[in-house]
Amino acid sequence: VFILSIESSCDDTAAAVMHNDKVLSNVVANQLIHQQYGGVVPELASRAHQQNIVPVIDAALQKAGVAKEQLNAIAFTQGPGLMGSLLVGTSFAKSLSLALDIPLIAVNHMHAHILAHFIDEEGFDKPEFPFLALTISGGHTQIVKVNGFFEMEIIGETTDDAVGEAFDKTAKILGLPYPGGPLVDKYAQSGNPKAFEFTKPKVPGLDFSFSGLKTQILYFIQKNVAQNPDFIAENINDICASIQHTIIKILMDKLKSAVAETGITQVAIGGGVSANSGIRSTLKEAEAKYGWKTFIPKFEYTTDNAAMIGIVGYQKYLHRKFNDKSVVSKARIEF
Ligand code: ATP
Ligand code: FE
Q: What is the pLDDT of residues 92-146, one digit of tens each?
A: 999 999 999 999 999 999 999 999 999 999 999 999 999 999 999 999 999 999 9
Three-state SS across the chain?
CEEEEEECCCCEEEEEEEECCEEEEEEEEECHHHHHHCCCCHHHHHHHHHHHHHHHHHHHHHHHCCCHHHCCEEEEEEECCCHHHHHHHHHHHHHHHHHHCCCEEEEEHHHHHHHHHHCCCCCCCCCCCCEEEEEECCCCEEEEEEEECCEEEEEEEECCCCHHHHHHHHHHHCCCCCCCHHHHHHHHCCCCCCCCCCCCCCCCCCCECCHHHHHHHHHHHHHHHHHCCCHHHHHHHHHHHHHHHHHHHHHHHHHHHHHHHHCCCEEEEECHHHHCHHHHHHHHHHHHHHCCEEECCCHHHCCCCCHHHHHHHHHHHHCCCCECCCCCCCCCCCC
* Sequence ranges of the binding site: 109, 113, 135-139, 168, 181, 185, 276, 304
Centroid of ligand 1 to alpha carbon of 117 (angstroms):
17
d(CA 49, CA 31): 9
Q: What is the pLDDT of residues 274-296, one digit of tens each?
A: 999 999 999 999 999 999 999 99
d(CA 84, CA 176): 27
Angle, alpha carbons 184-303-43 (nearest 5°): 95
Q: What is the mean pLDDT of residues 304-308?
A: 98
- Ligand nearest to the CA of residue 210, numbered in listed order: 1
Q: What is the mean pLDDT of residues 70-80?
A: 98
Centroid of ligand 2 to alpha carbon of 187 (angstroms):
23
Q: Calculate the average pLDDT of the chain.
A: 97
d(CA 54, CA 117): 28
Residue closest to 100 by CA, chosen among 142, 51, 143, 66: 66
- In order of 79, 154, 189, 234, the CA distances from 231 in angstroms are 41, 41, 19, 5
Centroid of ligand 2 to alpha carbon of 7 (angstroms):
9
* Sequence ranges of the binding site for Fe cation: 109, 113, 304
Question: In the sheet where 12-19 sits, what is the strand order?
Answer: 22-30, 12-19, 2-7, 73-79, 104-108
pLDDT at 38 over 90: no
Ligand 1 test: best mutation among 167, 282, 335, most atoms within 8 Å of CB? 167
pLDDT value of residue 33: 86
Centroid of ligand 2 to alpha carbon of 130 (angstroms):
22
Centroid of ligand 2 to alpha carbon of 10 (angstroms):
8
Q: Which pTM was predicted? A: 0.97
Q: Do 172 and 180 form a contact (C-beta atoms < 8 A)?
A: yes
d(CA 66, CA 72): 11
Q: How many residues does the chain have?
A: 335
pLDDT value of residue 32: 84
pLDDT value of residue 31: 86
From atom 15 of ligand 1, which residue's Cα is the shortest distance away?
Answer: 138
pLDDT at 315 over 90: yes
pLDDT at 301 over 90: yes
Whether residue 191 has its Cβ less than 6 Å from ligand 1: no
- Ligand nearest to the CA of residue 30, numbered in listed order: 1
Q: Do 310 and 301 form a contact (C-beta atoms < 8 A)?
A: no
Centroid of ligand 1 to alpha carbon of 87 (angstroms):
21
pLDDT value of residue 35: 85
Whether residue 12 has its Cβ less than 6 Å from ligand 1: no
Cα-flanking dihedrals φ and ψ of residue 3, to 5°?
-125, 130
Whether residue 301 has its Cβ less than 6 Å from ligand 1: no
- In order of 119, 134, 163, the CA distances from 160 in angstroms are 31, 16, 10
In DSSP terms, 105 is beta-bridged to 75
d(CA 243, CA 29): 30
Ligand 1 test: best mutation among 83, 137, 214, 245, most atoms within 8 Å of CB? 137
Integer distance in angstroms from the first to the last C-alpha of the chain? 27
Q: Do 249 and 210 form a contact (C-beta atoms < 8 A)?
A: no
Q: What ligand 1 atom has the least distance to the C-alpha of 272?
A: 13
Pairing state between β 12-19 and 2-7: antiparallel
Whether residue 10 has its Cβ less than 6 Å from ligand 1: yes
Centroid of ligand 2 to alpha carbon of 115 (angstroms):
12
From atom 4 of ligand 1, which residue's Cα is the shortest distance away?
Answer: 139
From atom 11 of ligand 1, which residue's Cα is the shortest distance away?
Answer: 272
Whether residue 140 has its Cβ less than 6 Å from ligand 1: yes
